[in-house]
């Protein structure tokens, strides 16, 4: 169980013959061999990557293998096209790892998910991926640090998420699904989308939310959590970041009075949601809640 992906998910890796695509497709297969069914690189159809068949188009891959999810490793200039191709081929979930996609391309590909009333989903872009522990991994997260259990994890970051997951695992707190929603200003799946899914997931008893400066997804999440039955523990990074500077992630920027860590912390506190001041506190608070 868990959310968005499980052991029945079938993934096609777009850009599988590139350095990153190949490396991570094989790691995803190590996590669960049944989940990675195909790769796509235009012009390289008929080849294989250590046994994973490569197709010219996503549609062929879907027809031949029954793939229902896609993972995008193609370069930024071609990424939006790759997402559109996935949706056109009937894929329902696209996990976009690529960083640096032009913002207007992201708006187009993200809005494509919901045309004609279809409830399709983009995770990312600039996402480290998603893992449902013990079942499936799509993306670049190091599978070995995860441990199955009752805590859902959502985050805008990659390594900081691993840091928190490593800590939780070492304290004996396992995870249900962990999602990196992505560090870009526009993302397909927000904290609120994930919280809604976790609220309905029988395997998830509590959630850790790791936010950062920029945008207002944390403030929206704070409002949403008011109506949740499951507890959520939060952490915000970038509390000491100067305004107007992009802190690595394209989306991590305080612009004017918008997107400050202070506003996010306040929103959570107002909604009665615990905010950890240090990474270690996340585990301490979670232990008490479970």
Partner 1 sequence: MKLHEYQAKEIMRRYGIPTPRGKVAETPDEVFKIATELGGRAVVKAQVHVGGRGKAGGIRVVNNPDEARVAGSEILGMDIKGLTVGKVLVEEAIEAVSEYYLGVTVDRSQKSVTIIASSEGGIDIEEVAAKTPQKISKMWSTPKEGFMPWQARSLALDAGFDEGTIARVGGYFSGLFKLFEREDAELAEINPLMVTKDGKAIAADAKITLDDNALFRHPGYSDLWEEEGDDPLEQEARKRKLTYVKLNGDIGVIGNGAGLVMATIDAIKAEGGEAANFLDIGGGARAEVVQSALELILMDEAVKAILINVFGGITRCDEVAQGLLKAIESVNLDLPVVVRLVGTKEAEGRAILSETPAVTADTMVDAAKRIVAIAGGGI
Q: Which residues sit at the interface with partner 1, rule CB under 8 A?
A: 23, 76-77, 100-105, 107-108, 110-111, 140-142, 145, 155-163, 166, 183, 185-188, 210, 212-217, 220, 237-242, 245-252, 256-257, 277-280
- Taking the least distance from each CB to partner 1, the nearer of 246 and 266 is 246
* Separation CA 163–CA 235 (nearest Å): 12
Angle between helices 217-225 and 261-270 (to 10 degrees): 10
- Taking the least distance from each CB to partner 1, the nearer of 47 and 281 is 281
Task: Report, in Å, the least distance between residue 192 CB and partner 1.
Answer: 10
* Separation CA 44–CA 13 (nearest Å): 13
Q: Tell me how many degrees the CA angle 196-202-207 measures, rounded to the nearest 5.
A: 50
Cis ω on the peptide bond leading into residue 235 (within 30° of 0)? no
Burial of 242 (C-beta count, 10 Å sphere; 0-12/13-18/19+): exposed
252-260: which pairs have CB atoms within 8 A and are 24 or more residues apart? Answer: 252/156, 252/183, 252/212, 252/213, 252/214, 253/185, 253/213, 253/214, 254/213, 254/214, 255/214, 258/215, 258/216, 259/213, 259/214, 259/215, 259/216, 260/213
Task: Report, in Å, the least distance between residue 68 CB and partner 1.
Answer: 23
Task: Report, in Å, the least distance between residue 237 CB and partner 1.
Answer: 4
Task: Report, in Å, the least distance between residue 194 CB and partner 1.
Answer: 15
Task: Report, in Å, the least distance between residue 287 CB and partner 1.
Answer: 17
- Taking the least distance from each CB to partner 1, the nearer of 92 and 163 is 163
What are the CA-CA distances from residue 287 to residues 118, 134, 174, 233, 267 (Å)?
39, 22, 11, 11, 23
Task: Report, in Å, the least distance between residue 141 CB and partner 1.
Answer: 7
Catalytic, 24? Answer: no
- Taking the least distance from each CB to partner 1, the nearer of 62 and 113 is 113
Question: Is 207 in contact with 154 (CB distance < 8 Å)?
Answer: yes
* Separation CA 285–CA 199 (nearest Å): 19
- Considering the candidates 10, 24, 249, 264, report the single residue annotated as catalytic: 249
- Taking the least distance from each CB to partner 1, the nearer of 150 and 247 is 247
Catalytic residue numbers, as ranges: 249
């Amino acid at each position: 169980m868990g959310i968005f992906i499980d052991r029945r998910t079938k993934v096609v890796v777009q850009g599988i013959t590139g350095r990153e695509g190949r490396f991570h497709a094989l790691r995803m297969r190590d996590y669960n061999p049944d989940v990675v069914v195909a790769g796509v690189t235009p012009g390289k159809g008929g080849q294989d990557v250590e046994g994973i068949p490569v197709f010219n188009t996503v549609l062929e891959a879907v027809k031949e293998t029954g793939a229902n999810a896609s993972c995008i490793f193609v370069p930024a200039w071609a990424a939006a096209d790759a997402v559109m191709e996935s949706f056109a081929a009937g894929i329902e979930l696209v996990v976009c790892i690529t960083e640096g996609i032009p913002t207007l391309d992201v708006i187009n590909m993200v809005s494509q998910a919901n045309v004609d009333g279809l409830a399709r989903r983009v995770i990312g872009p600039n996402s480290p991926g998603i893992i449902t522990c013990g079942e499936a991994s799509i993306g670049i997260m190091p599978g070995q640090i995860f441990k199955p259990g009752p805590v859902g994890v959502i985050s805008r970051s990659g390594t900081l998420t691993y840091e928190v997951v490593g800590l939780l695992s070492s304290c004996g707190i396992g995870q249900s699904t962990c999602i990196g929603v992505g560090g870009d200003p526009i993302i397909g799946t927000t904290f609120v989308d994930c919280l809604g899914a976790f609220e309905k997931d029988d395997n998830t008893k509590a959630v850790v939310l790791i936010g950062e400066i920029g945008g207002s997804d944390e403030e929206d999440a704070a409002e949403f959590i008011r109506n949740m039955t499951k507890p959520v523990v939060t952490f915000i990074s970038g509390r000491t970041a100067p305004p107007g500077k992009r802190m690595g992630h394209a989306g991590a920027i305080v612009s004017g009075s918008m997107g400050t860590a202070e506003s996010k912390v306040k929103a959570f506190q107002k909604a009665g949601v615990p905010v950890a001041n240090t990474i270690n506190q996340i585990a301490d608070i979670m232990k008490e809640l479970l």
